[in-house]
Amino acid sequence: MSYTRIVWAHLAKDLRLEWRSKDAINGMLFFSLLVVVLFSFAFDPTMAVSRQIAGGILWVALLFASTTALNQTWTRELRHQVLDAQRMAPSPASALFLGKVLANFLFVTMIQVVLGPLFIIFYNLHALGQGWWMAVVLPLGTLALVVNGTFFAALSLRTRNREMLLPLILFPVSIPALLAMVQSTSAILTGESDPGLWINMLAGYDIIFMTLCLLLFETILNAE
């Protein structure tokens, strides 16, 4: 299918660029590591408490880290006016967006792969609930962050103070998703409640906002 091939072209290009420059990954990785270390100074990571707050810290760390990377994600296209070439091409704008989302999704997932074990070590964690549910929550949560993040990064692309604006518009809209991520993670770690409701909500959030972003991306790409 032609659309898939175009998405793949965008994705492959982004992966290749990242492979050669390693801008996003390195920054994100170190940043989220710092957040985890700093938070363990702020909150005493003893066994009993850590389980309650670990979910929040994990997602806040990932949220901050992906914000720093998302700010860079379109700068790359802007640097040598490549975005203008993409805007003139006859391929659908939503494919460009989808490629970007998938690339960012992979980057954040890679961060999680590194961060996850560290997190377990620093906070002495072992899940009391169904640990394998994390394999569902993490991708769903990441997708929620990345879909809206990529969209709003494109939205704030041609504004003043764009690095500052992105979190200001991304965080309020993402609150329900963040709530669901933290609640489901805490439920899994403490084993006190069922994460099912929050996981469903997260999945619904992903579907709704992915659709919305795909529909509206063309509009913001040619906003003027």
Partner 1 sequence: MRSRPYRGKYLDGANASPASQTQRTFRILQRVHPAANVIELREVSKLYGTFAALRKITAEFHTGNSYVILGPNGAGKSTLLRNLAGLTRPSFGTMTILGSGEVSEVRSRIGYLGHDSMLYDELTAMENLRYSASLYQGETLSSGRWTPEQSLAMVGLDPALNRPVGKFSQGMRQRASLARALMAKPDLLLLDEPFSNVDLASSAQMLHVLNQLRAAGNTILLTTHQPDLARPIADCFCTMEAGQIVSMEYFPPSNAPAGMRSAAGLRA
Partner 2 sequence: MKRTLQFGLPIALGILAIGFYQAMYVAPVEATMGEIYRIFYYHVPSNTMGLLFPFLNFAASAVYLFTRRSNPSLAQAADALALASAEVALVFLTIGLATGMLWAKPVWGIWWTWDPRLTSCLVLWLIYVSYLLLRRFTAGGQTQTLAAVLSVFAAVDVPIVYMSIRWWRTQHPSPVFFGGPGAGIDPHMWPAVLWNLTGWFLWGVMLVTLRYQLERKRQRVERKSALNALEAEPQMTP
> Which of residues 42, 80, 117, 135 is near partner 1 by CB under 8 A?
80
Looking at beta carbons only, is 20 or 126 nearer to partner 1? Answer: 20
> Which of residues 44, 81, 121, 135 is near partner 1 by CB under 8 A?
81
Residue 90, interface with partner 1 (CB under 8 A)? yes
Residues 191 to 210 in contact with partner 2, rule: CB under 8 A: 197, 201, 204-205, 208-209
Per residue in 154-181, is it b (16+ CB within 10 Å) or e — as a string? bbbbeeeebeebbbebbeeebeebbebb
Q: Is 75 exposed, middle or buried (0-12, 13-18, 19+ CB in 10 A)?
A: middle
Looking at beta carbons only, is 23 or 194 nearer to partner 1? Answer: 23
Residue 202, interface with partner 1 (CB under 8 A)? no
Residue 117, interface with partner 1 (CB under 8 A)? no
Q: Choosing among partner 1, partner 2, none, which partner's interface includes residue 20 (Cβ < 5 to 8 Å by kind)?
A: partner 1
Q: From CA 106, how far away is CA 210, in angstroms rounded? A: 16
Q: What is the DSSP string of 129-194?
A: S-GGGHHHHHHHHHHHHHHHHHHHHHHTTTSTTHHHHHHHHHHHHHHHHHHHHHHHHHHHHH-SS-
Give yes or no for a contact between 68 and 28, defined as CB atoms under 8 angstroms apart.
yes
Residue 78, interface with partner 2 (CB under 8 A)? no
Residue 21, interface with partner 1 (CB under 8 A)? yes
Residues 121 to 140 in contact with partner 2, rule: CB under 8 A: none
Residue 181 to residues 69, 126, 144, 147, 153: CA-CA distances in angstroms?
Answer: 20, 18, 9, 15, 21
| Tokens encoding 170 | 């991304």
Residue 76, interface with partner 1 (CB under 8 A)? yes
Residue among 105, 165, 189, 107 at smallest CA distance from 139: 105
Residue among 10, 26, 17, 106 at smallest CA distance from 65: 26
Candidate ranges 48-56, 79-87, 118-126, 203-211; the one touching partner 1 (CB under 8 A): 79-87
Q: Choosing among partner 1, partner 2, none, which partner's interface includes residue 82 (Cβ < 5 to 8 Å by kind)?
A: partner 1
- Binding residues (CB under 8 A) for partner 1: these are 2, 5-6, 9, 13, 16-17, 20-21, 76, 79-82, 84-91, 222, 224
- Binding residues (CB under 8 A) for partner 2: these are 155-156, 158-161, 165, 168-169, 171-173, 175-176, 179, 197, 201, 204-205, 208-209, 212, 216, 219-220, 223-224
